[in-house]
């Protein structure tokens, strides 16, 4: 299928590795020029070089932190009129809400709700004026299936999803859609970090916990980042203009509900 987005410009925040990088690669494979943003320059430059070598599209890199005003400004300066925006950043550390301070909550809100909303604010009106826009937020299955140890994610990401649900209905008439991808367990640095954080006093090894999580998934495996990247590319395609305000679980079937 030709996704019909060759020559479009995409701004992808949190795209030097893992799921964000996979989204950048999938879009680049469709001929989209990509600007990728992350906080650390070395991995970012390496990712940019890999994507450019693999696809031949124009790849721009910008160092920036989505949780700061300066970081968001650097991202937009590198790609001032994006047709496509991907919002992505670190997830939270697991823990017990009794230990979290107000500052912990504000940091979580900045990364998982307010930073993405600000990025949307900085780009959505231009998309609407130009008559094309695709905004995708990498969220988590935790907004449909709360994870006991991830209260910061359960809370902060639900705020983003609720906000997007309202805004997405106001932009679609101008061919600007906003959707959320809800990953289950994917094989990435963040997933490995999460599993390390779960070991605690369990007495189990990393490999035991890692494999048990795969075995507990109906697909019996972790997701591959490229699988999520492909979903992102489709949501950003010309064909997806009638899909907005949706929360797409990409989780191997682990969410147990019919709806
Ligand atoms: N992997 C999973 O199984 C899974 C499941 C559910 C939800 N998620 C969520 O999906 C998101 C992506 O996961 P992942 O596994 O791809 O993570 P990852 O491998 O750790 O990659 C995160 C990417 O975002 C960048 N980044 C992080 N914080 C940033 C910030 N404040 N500003 C700009 N860039 C930032 C990182 O680069 P720098 O560190 O250099 O900034 C990196 O490029 C996370 O929020 C995660 O919680 C993942």
* Per-residue pLDDT tens digits for 152-194: 999 999 999 999 999 999 999 999 999 999 999 999 999 999 8
Give 3-state DSSP helix, strand, coil % of the chain, rounded to 5. 50, 15, 35
- Average pLDDT (46-64) is 98
Ligand 1 mean position, distance from CA 129 (Å) = 30
**Scanning the structure block, which residue is given the tokens 């991995």?**
43
Q: What percent of the chain has pLDDT over 90?
A: 93
Q: Which atom of ligand 1 is nearest to the CA of 43?
A: 40
pLDDT band at 94 (very low <50, low <70, confident <90, very high): confident
Q: How far apart are CA 216 and CA 138, in angstroms?
A: 23
| pTM, rounded to two decimals | 0.98
Which residues lie across from 12 on neighbouring strands?
36, 86
Q: Is the pLDDT of residue 137 over 80?
A: yes
Instruction: Give exposure, 138-153, as e/b (b: 16+ Cβ within 10 Å).
Output: bbbbbbebeeebbbbb
The DSSP bridge pattern shows strands 84-87 and 176-183 to be unpaired
Ligand 1 mean position, distance from CA 173 (Å) = 31
Top mutation candidate among 88, 94, 113, 158 for ligand 1, by most atoms within 8 Å of CB: 88
Q: Which atom of ligand 1 is nearest to the CA of 223?
A: 3
pLDDT score of 2: 96
- How do residues 187-232 score in pLDDT, each as one tens digit? 999 999 989 888 887 889 999 999 999 999 999 999 999 999 999 9
pLDDT score of 68: 98
- Average pLDDT (19-44) is 98
Q: Which residues line ligand 1 (CB under 6 A)?
A: 13-20, 37-40, 43, 65-67, 88-91, 111, 138, 140, 183, 185-186, 188-191
- Average pLDDT (48-67) is 98
pLDDT score of 202: 82
Ligand 1 mean position, distance from CA 154 (Å) = 16
pLDDT score of 149: 87
Ligand 1 mean position, distance from CA 62 (Å) = 16
Where helices occur in the chain by DSSP H, the ranges are: 18-29, 41-55, 69-78, 102-109, 115-130, 151-171, 189-199, 206-216, 225-235
Higher pLDDT, 50 or 95: 50
Average pLDDT, the chain: 97
- 156 Cβ neighbours under 8 A, 6+ residues apart: 92, 105, 108, 109, 111, 112, 113
């Amino acid at each position: 299928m030709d996704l019909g987005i060759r020559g479009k410009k995409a701004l992808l925040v949190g795209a030097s590795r893992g799921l964000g990088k996979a989204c950048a690669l999938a879009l680049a494979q469709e001929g989209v020029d990509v600007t990728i943003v992350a906080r650390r320059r070395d991995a970012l430059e390496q990712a940019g070089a890999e994507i450019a070598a693999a696809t031949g599209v124009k790849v721009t890199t910008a160092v920036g932190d989505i949780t700061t005003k300066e970081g968001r400004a650097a991202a937009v300066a590198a790609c001032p009129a994006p047709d496509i925006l991907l919002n992505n950043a670190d997830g939270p550390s697991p823990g017990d809400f009794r230990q979290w301070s107000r500052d912990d909550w504000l940091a979580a809100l900045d990364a998982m709700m307010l930073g993405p909303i600000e990025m949307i604010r900085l780009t959505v009106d231009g998309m609407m004026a130009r008559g094309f826009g695709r905004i995708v937020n990498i969220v988590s299955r935790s907004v449909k299936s709360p994870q006991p140890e991830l209260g910061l994610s359960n809370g902060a990401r639900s705020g983003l999803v609720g906000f997007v649900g309202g805004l997405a209905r106001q932009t679609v008439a101008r061919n600007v859609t906003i959707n959320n991808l809800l990953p289950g367990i994917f094989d990435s640095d963040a997933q490995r970090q999460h599993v390390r954080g779960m070991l605690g006093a369990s007495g189990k090894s990393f490999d035991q916990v890692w494999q048990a999580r795969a075995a507990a998934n109906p697909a019996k495996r972790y997701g591959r980042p490229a699988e999520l990247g492909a979903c992102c590319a489709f949501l950003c395609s010309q064909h997806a203009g009638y899909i907005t305000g949706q929360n797409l679980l990409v989780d191997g079937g682990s969410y147990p509900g019919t709806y």
